[in-house]
Amino acid sequence: MTDIETTIIIAMAAVLAAFVTGILSLVNLIISKDIKISELRQNWINSLREEVSSFIATANSVSAEWKCHPDKTDGVNFISKNIELIHKLDTLSHKIRLRLNPKEHEDTITLVNDIERLLSSPVQINNSNNLMLYFEKLNTQTQNILKEEWKRVKSGEPSYKILKVTSIIFLITILITSKYIYTHI
């Protein structure tokens, strides 16, 4: 092997090393981003679970307070006595609606709105069976949403999946190229 061939091989190895280093940096960046997205998605799942369970519990408390309220014709007094519960219910309702995608989760948002509507009607609030059906539906729909989001977290972000396949192809290409160079030089 001549000095020129050796110099060319060394230069090619340096370029290849720089290229591989750049690829590894990019891979590391993508993996870090996807880990963070998965972490945020998990926090979203936990927050939605907490907010929906608090919403149902608070709605149930408002219903129970109404049933214990002595004068069913005096809604103003009921509201003033239970303003904190009503405020909490309203806050949770808004948090849930803001957290959900209006196109993907339209049914769940409608259920939250329906529960609030039922609680604002003295006739409906006395029908606890109807309210319990709404709670069960909301629980079921929320569980379905949480399950779908958990599947996304488990399987990884799309860029992670693409990176995994690309890395395997890249590794195979490097192995084949290395074998070719080794046998022909």
The two three-digit tokens of residue 73, written as one number:
């014709």
Instruction: Say whether pLDDT at 52 is over 70.
Output: yes
Which stretch of 8-12, 101-105, 117-121 has the lowest confidence by average pLDDT? 8-12
Span 125-151, pLDDT tens digits? 777 778 899 999 999 999 999 999 888
CB 85 within 8 A of CB 65: yes
How far apart (Å, rounded) are the C-alpha atoms in residues 86 and 63? 11
CB 96 within 8 A of CB 76: no
Mean pLDDT of the chain: 86
Q: Taking the model in full, what pTM does it have?
A: 0.76
The band of 1, judged by pLDDT with boundaries at 50, 70 and 90, is low
How far apart (Å, rounded) are the C-alpha atoms in residues 137 and 146? 14
- Give mean pLDDT, residues 8-29: 82
How far apart (Å, rounded) are the C-alpha atoms in residues 31 and 22? 14
Alpha helices in the chain (DSSP H): 3-68, 75-81, 83-99, 106-119, 122-125, 128-155, 158-184
